[in-house]
Amino acid sequence: MRPAFGALALAAAALAAGPGAAAPARVVVDLSPAGLRNTFRPEQALGAGIDGAWRGGTDALLTPHNVRAMTGAGLRPLTYRLRTELGIAAWHWNPEGTWSDPARRQGYWTSSARPGAPIKVSWGYDLPRRGDTVDNANNTAWSKLDDGDLATFWKSNPYLDTVYVKAPTRPQWLVLELGDPQVVDTADIAWGEPYARRYEVQYWTGRDEYDPAGRWATFPHGAVTDGRGGHVRLALGPSATPTAFVRVLMQEGSGTAPADATDRRDRIGYAVREVGFGRTGPDGVFHDAVRHAASHDGQSLAHVSSTDPWHRAIDRNLDLEQPGLDRVFASGLTNGLPVMVPVGIFYDTPENAAAEIAWLKARHYPIARVEIGEEPDGQYVDAEDYGALYLQGVDAIRRIDARVPLGGPSLQSGLTDTWMDPEPLRSWNGRFVRYLKSRGRLADLQFFSFEFYPFDDICGDIYGKLVGADALLSGLMSRVAAEGVPTTIPWHIAEYGFSAFSGRAESEMPAALLMADIVGQFLTAGGDGAYLFGYGPNEPVNQHQPCAGYGNLMLWTAGAAGQAAQSTATYQTARLITGRWLQPTGQHQLYAARVEGAPGVQAFPVRRPDGRLAVLLVNRDARAGYDLAIDAVRGPAEAWRYSSAQYSWIDDGPKSRPGRNLPPEHLALAPGTALHLPPAALAVVLAR
């Protein structure tokens, strides 16, 4: 993230507007050493990601036709995304491996680090001791806390115990959402093994889960210091106010295990079979406010602090498919470059993470960096718990490789605040950094990664939102730096796109403009790498808001059998950035620029390895076009311009598709000629 200095400065000479025209707007480029903002290599800085899929998705994606279409965008480095971490599943990255209880094909899984047959596909395995109703992948499973079945149970992650953390054990918790606020005075808890000896039953006092004035209040008789497990019904005394959230905070475990347990991890943590909260009437009858059902939609929402990664062979989820590592490295998508690879950690084990790195090294596959976990802030987990597991992952991998860069956390958003937490420090990332510092191990964060999808609301004034995205990204980066993430380590946007939800704007010009703006702004601010999400062909859908129409994060629409059919505006923009603004490889120097007289226009000038100056121009104004004169361009120049004259999108529900779909317009600019940039357009000017 540190700029290089000593660039050759050019004398400024403004281009005149055409005869009789108004004076053009000015693009003022600072090519002095003080104006240098970043030095980067496109083959390291501008990439895309490949993700997990539904059943059969790998075969549909990794065809020669699709690989040619994807790599044609010129986005060279690859990041491999880990959908199992979003789906509360353990990743059998190698289908060959060992169980901790091999006789019953269950327990804690470690994939084999020994290279064998090529791995073409792998899967996630659902965790049967799951406590969360909601996940961020398929979101079809449910919590075992209120499934109505006493034979199932939730259990916390044993790797969060002091036995593994080598620091004081943090409390674990479970939370139930009751719907409408109500007075609660009774808890019904069926404990498993191990149970909690010391725990508190609490209610949330805030008006909602993000109320900064809210706090967890222990019921008048909610503190238990001599818990003995079994099925207990506690007369708590009434909550002082109606509440929609009830929590059990577990502080000391029994250390007991089921009779058939064979692994020490079975006796670490806490296990609960079923919970209920409500009121006991004058007749002594308990009225449970919790909805119990073995159904994602039928039960009350449950959230837990962690989940035991124990599972069984029968828990394989064919709809949590991951492309096989061998297949990815052989596909051509890596362009022969090192890959940013993930390891599972929050729903997996440190041993499995280390085995993956050992296997990759044995295969001699080049690794750019290792991302430990994915989107832990989006799982409602405590940053400190993730930090404890992160450090265990670091320690395990370091025994295999002392040099590979390790980092993360691949934040769902660098702006994530904590959930139902009264502590003054509300930033999830701030608390993660604080935890690493408290352990004296901030140096083990060797790169920082986050995702950037700026818009949940993708209706209304889309172009107004585009202008606002500048402040969102700059504010995010400023906040992250203020929270203590070192600016001396690389920062990567692990995924970026218009929105995490699908809609028309993602397939129209706004997505193209935002891509160019994110790349230019992030690199100008000192960022080290940005990876586009939506690499593979896809179908237009409406996921979130009916007013958003149909579209998707995609470079290509998907035709028959998922094969690339028609390119989108984002594809043409990627080619414009990687093939015209930049050269494919080599050191590029990015300079500061300001635009005078053209609101909504951004300019990003680079000195390329061939010595030529290239300026990327982005006009987010959908109403006005501008004549632009670039003061650092003295002689003749080439330009490529892309706007609605080249591209349109037909919004036709699931049949939505590109209408007009032409490549950027190529222009020759004589000395003294300003470039006209239409409304909602982008261009590259390349000096000769």
pLDDT tens by residue, 257-295: 999 899 999 999 999 999 999 999 999 999 999 999 999
- Do 232 and 252 fall within a single domain? yes
Structure tokens at 107: 């327990």
Q: Cis ω on the peptide bond leading into residue 24 (within 30° of 0)?
A: no
Angle at 494 (CA atoms; ends 66, 108), nearest 5 degrees = 90
Interhelix angle 462-482/509-524, nearest 10 degrees: 30
pLDDT one-digit tens code per residue, 544-598: 899 999 999 999 999 999 999 999 999 999 999 999 999 999 999 999 999 999 9
| Residue 573 and residue 595 in one domain | no
Whether 140 is in a domain gets the answer no
Q: Is residue 216 part of a domain?
A: yes
Q: CA–CA separation, 399 vs 396, rounded Å?
A: 6
> Which residue type does 217 have?
A
Range of the domain at 398: 42-126+313-581
Instruction: For residues 566 and 640, state if they share a domain.
Output: no
Residue 354 lies in a domain: yes
Q: Which H, E and C letters describe 342-409, residue by residue?
A: EECCCCCCHHHHHHHHHHHHHHCCCEEEEEECCCHHHHCCCHHHHHHHHHHHHHHHHCCCCCCCEEEE
Distance, CA of 591 to CA of 110 (rounded, Å): 48
Boundary of a domain, candidates 308, 337, 369: 308
| 90 and 120, same domain (yes or no) | yes
Q: What's the domain count of the chain?
A: 3
CATH number at residue 652: 2.60.40.1180
| Mean pLDDT calculated for residue range 59-82 | 98
* CA pair distance 536, 62, nearest whole angstrom: 9
Query: 332 with 468, same domain?
Result: yes
Nearest to 568 by CA among 605, 614, 535, 541: 535
pLDDT value at residue 21: 56
**Cβ contact 67:549 at 8 Å:** no
Beta pairing partners, 529: 492
pLDDT at 3 over 70: no
The answer to whether residue 334 is domain-embedded is yes
CA distance 538 to 532: 14
Residue 147 resides in a domain: no
Mean of the per-residue pLDDT values of the chain: 95
Q: Which segments within 574-625 are labelled E, that is strand?
A: 588-596, 601-607, 613-619
List, in sequence order, every residue forming a beta bridge with 449; answer none if it has no partner. 409, 492
536 and 618 inside one domain: no
**Token match 């296997």: residue?**
359
From residue 150, give the alpha-carbon distance in Å to each of 186, 189, 303, 504.
19, 11, 18, 46
What does the DSSP 8-state code read for residue 114?
S
Measured CA to CA, the distance from residue 315 to residue 141 in angstroms comes to: 12
For residue 342, cis peptide bond before it (omega within 30 degrees of 0)? no
- Buried b or exposed e, range 424-454, using 16+ CB within 10 angstroms: eeebbbbbbbbbbeebeebebbbbbbbbbbb
- Please say which residue of 581, 613, 628 terminates a domain: 581
pLDDT in tens, 310-332: 999 999 999 999 999 999 999 99
The domain boundary residue, chosen from 308, 324, 343: 308
Cα separation, 368 vs 403, in Å, equals: 11
Q: Is residue 132 part of a domain?
A: no
* Angular region, 363: left φ>0, alpha ψ -120 to 50, beta rest: alpha
Statement: residue 162 has pLDDT above 70: yes
Q: Is the CB of residue 528 less than 8 Å from the CB of residue 1?
A: yes
SS3 labels along 67-104: HHHHHCCCCCCEEECCHHHCCCEEEECCCCEEEEEHHH
- Which CATH number characterizes residue 233's domain? 2.60.120.260
Q: Is the pLDDT of residue 89 over 60?
A: yes
pLDDT(20) > 50? no
Percentage of the chain lying above the pLDDT 70 cut? 97
pLDDT band at residue 431 using 50, 70 and 90 as cut-offs: very high
CATH value at residue 562:
3.20.20.80
| 207, 340: one domain | no
The residues near 503 (Cβ < 8 Å, ≥ 6 apart) are 458, 459, 542, 543, 544, 545, 548, 549, 550, 551
427 shares a domain with 552: yes
Residue-wise pLDDT tens digits, 344-375:
999 999 999 999 999 999 999 999 999 999 99
Classify residue 146: in a domain, yes or no: no
CA 103 – CA 444 distance, rounded (Å) = 38
Residues 168, 216, single domain; the answer is yes
Please indicate, yes or no, if residue 136 is contained in any of the structural domains.
Answer: no
| Cβ pair 310, 107 in contact under 8 A | yes
Average pLDDT on 196-224 reads 96
| Total-model pTM | 0.94
Residues 616 and 568 in one domain: no
In this structure, the answer to whether residues 354 and 367 fall within a common structural domain is yes
- 636 and 646 both lie in a single domain: yes
